Amino acid sequence: MLVKVTAKTQLPGTRRPPEAPPAVWAAFVAQGQWRNWTLVGLLGLVGLQSLAIIRLVTRPPEVVLVDAGGEATPVRRSVATDALLAFLAERSRPAEASVVRFTRDFIHHAIGVNSSTIDAAWPQALAMMAPDLRTRLEAEAARTRLVDTWRLAQRKTELSFEEIVVEDRTPELLSIRARLQRRTGPLIAGAGPTSTDRVQVDLVARVVPPTLARPDGLEVAEWRVAPLPVTHSSSKPGDADKGVPDAP
């Protein structure tokens, strides 16, 4: 007796779960195709966003003209003339009042040494310096124990500015000269000698974009202190000869 046996075969990849209705299986297949096209679309969108970001980053910045009353007028760089851009570059330089304020603040922090404020003043002076100068002087101050020495000295310094002059100026750098009188004495009046001297501080300030850390748009690239002749007598005979150590 012959028995007829029929075997059903399926191609690889078309196998479906047992007892799965055809409609459900078709829905799974359609969902998989939709997911693939969605991924392709998202990848394309990410590529377009990347191109847009690259164009925005590489595009020259727009210009904003601010008048004396604080009103801002945007000017597209593509339509700005060379003369206007040169004028705006000149206007964007730090004002004379900002240069004077920046110079006074730095000198007060750097050489207006006070034993009760040295812990805060010296870090503020370092923060106003360019990174390379700050690193060098910070290491030198640590080696010489500058802060500890002045904290234990129990001395204070009073500064009296005679002049602050911008000697030279370029778009990137300013050469500044400051002359002042420096009077150093004990924290408590009468507890020690007092000395008076005159010094000249020469600063090279670099113009940088204004930020919260650099509101004046300046940082000290280099500086030095040189003595000047004293034009009047010190408070006590012989005090000027005793002197005190200088800040770096």
For 33-48, how does the pLDDT look when each residue is reduced to its tens digit (9 = 90+)?
A: 666 667 777 777 777 7
**What local confidence, expressed as pLDDT, does residue 77 receive?**
56
pLDDT of 169 strictly over 70: yes
Q: Which residue has the tokens 């234990």?
A: 152
Q: What percent of the chain has pLDDT over 70?
A: 62
Is pLDDT above 90 for 129?
Answer: yes
Residue by residue, what is the 3-state secondary structure of the chain? CCCCCCCCCCCCCCCCCCCCCHHHHHHHHHHHHHHHHHHHHHHHHHHHHHHHHHHHHHCCCCEEEECCCCCEEEECCCCCCHHHHHHHHHHCCCCHHHHHHHHHHHHHHHHCCECCCHHHHHHHHHHCECHHHHHHHHHHHHHHCHHHHHHHHCEEEEEEEEEEEEEEECCCEEEEEEEEEEEEEECCCCCCCCEEEEEEEEEEEEECCCCCCCCCCEEEEEEEEEEECCCCCCCCCCHHHHCCCCCC
Q: pLDDT digit string (tens) for 10-63?
A: 545 555 555 555 655 565 556 666 666 677 777 777 777 777 777 766 655 555
> Can you give the pLDDT at residue 247?
44
List CB contacts of 11: < 8 A, sequence separation 6 or more. Answer: none
Under the phi-then-psi rule, with left for phi > 0, alpha for psi from -120 to 50, and beta for the rest, what region is 190? Answer: left
Give dist(CA 121, CA 106) in Å, integer: 9
The percent of residues in the chain predicted with pLDDT above 90, rounded, is: 41
The highest-confidence range among 27-41, 67-81, 183-197, by mean pLDDT, is 183-197
Q: What is the pLDDT of residue 105?
A: 95
More confident residue, 79 or 45: 45
Instruction: Supply the pLDDT for residue 246.
Output: 43
- What fold does the segment set 94-242 form as a domain? Nuclear Transport Factor 2; Chain: A, (3.10.450)
Alpha carbon distances (Å) from 77 to 59, 60, 65, 84, 176 = 10, 7, 12, 10, 33
What local confidence, expressed as pLDDT, does residue 48 receive? Answer: 79
Side-chain half-sphere exposure of 92, counting CA atoms within 13 A: 15
Instruction: Over range 229-237, report the average pLDDT.
Output: 55
Domain range summary for the chain, segments of one domain joined by +? 24-57, 60-92, 94-242
pLDDT at 177: 96
More reliable by pLDDT, 246 or 107: 107
Q: What average pLDDT does the segment 225-245 reach?
A: 56
Q: How far apart are CA 188 and CA 184, in angstroms?
A: 12
Q: Of 200 and 60, which is predicted with more confidence?
A: 200
**Per-residue pLDDT at 47:** 78
Q: Answer whether residue 134 shows pLDDT above 90.
A: yes
